[in-house]
Structure 1
């Protein structure tokens, strides 16, 4: 499609107190643009309010009521961003001296034409400014879309894939600059797509929220977690060494495997696999290469049967460890290091009455106060129900200290809390 066809319907406002000039401009432009007319600056201002589609103004300088200079200043000072940025071509005649042109340029004129103008000149200037204005609008819309694009995964509250990758680039740059360590972990729930298809979206999402809580409770404040697939999670671990990164992955996978879910009459247990790298950071290390390496290890772990962690510390030497290691075919990467595998055994969980959606059957340890507050922030207060009495017991000394500062005005409230927890009065 030609640029002329793309411009069809674009409105151009011609402002001149001479009807002859307006008609001449209309004849030249009408084949490509919708031409509106105004006989003075005030009429032009009214037209701008009534026609938000106007993309260009071609205005004379010398006009009654409100001249071209007054119209230009009013446009550039408008609060409406659309009006303030609209291109304005000033048409000058023999009566307009160079000072008038300089003043118009200083006031924000986009371009100038001299009377009498010919068709080629008027069309060329009009096309150029319409194209430029259209390009600028598209760039602004693209920038706005990027700025307003969500940075978090709506289901889990973790970073989405794009934001996770952006954060990874930042952490790698920091590690290169400060010559520090960096760990990268990818964790995927084994065969989750099959369970998702069998039990449906509500059950699948409930399970993912529980697994997300496991990850949140396991990582440090400075770590970054993101959801980068259906049931795939990524972790960027600043200053993490090989032992710490591996143990974190094993701990998370073990906790995932320890959960039992009751869905209708079915009991579901899932396992997870992970790929862990703690590479040697060089000046030319690229985050895309680290992503590829970690995901390749994760793929090997899953293809080897799942329920295991495959790790590579990037040093080319095996590390002595006490965890049981499964046998896996050796693979050497570009660093010469042979990846190693480690089982994440599943533990047996108790059972509870059946639920219509997935419900974790494992009795999890009580979260810390900081973790409890984070869950409340994430609208996950239901998971705190079994732990609320114990958490309130921890908070009670703070309430009592506040009670003393309030000169006993909170005695009744604190007394009720003590009674509900069966704590005797002091």
Structure 2
């Protein structure tokens, strides 16, 4: 497997731009230069060769219609690659239209996001920044896992809290969160080992792999959080005062990093990392003394469901519903999430509840529309204040 070396790494994230139009490439470069380094490819074949020889590339921007190898063919090669850093590379597809059929086809082919050729600089930079940071964090996690699992130095070993100690500390965190009206989240990560010739429940990975994952989780979570090994191949994390979306993003990066890390010698064996996620809001109706157990049980059931279905990633309420209905999980692009959220009719009560749950990122998707609707009320309040009225 190709790995990053200090000589190959850039100070700025490197973006690969694949498009047969010199004008389109120049326009995209004008958008991103200064914040990102870039590399150009005139067609899909050149782009594929660049990915093989340049491990510093963090994100691919690709046109769909190119000679030799088009965007769909490039996506197919990337997603089928045996090299982890290529197989999981974020690919942003550039399209001249915004038709849903083309968006659906690109998504089915493995596109991470889809942009139109008239996208603004700020919007493009924001998306690329998010994607490149996720890749960098995941790569660091993978390298740390590989170093830990193959290390013979036991001096760095850290004893994780026992399940009983975890429960005591987690209950204190939950109680404080409820008292201070803040969010509290339980993450339950189950690790499995899957072989193409084995059916049914995934086998347990070697002890050295599970131990390495536990050590790195301990080093990765915040000091205010708590992680413990709560089963043979299971870890549970309690985290408070965090946006729910941020907790999901952290869990997603951890799961992908575990699955992608080169931890198993047999090339046919694959690691599966499924993480059940539960927010305190989902168990708000439970009695205070039962809430932590209810949250932990629900997170564990979701993780186990994901593991049994062979899913690497986060299993929340929506993913659980889809899996129970026998449907597959398709990751939405950032743009699709924003469009879906913008189409929803959200009332003020819902937005206030989201703020209470720590879902500020969802609230921000509606802030422009909300400000317009509330402007008459604000004008009325200001006019009363100017008139000296209470």
Q: Structure 1-normalised TM-score?
A: 0.34
Q: Choose between structure 1 and 2 for higher RCO, CA contacts under 8 A separated by at least 6 residues.
A: 2
Larger Rg: 1
Return the structure number with greater helix share: 2
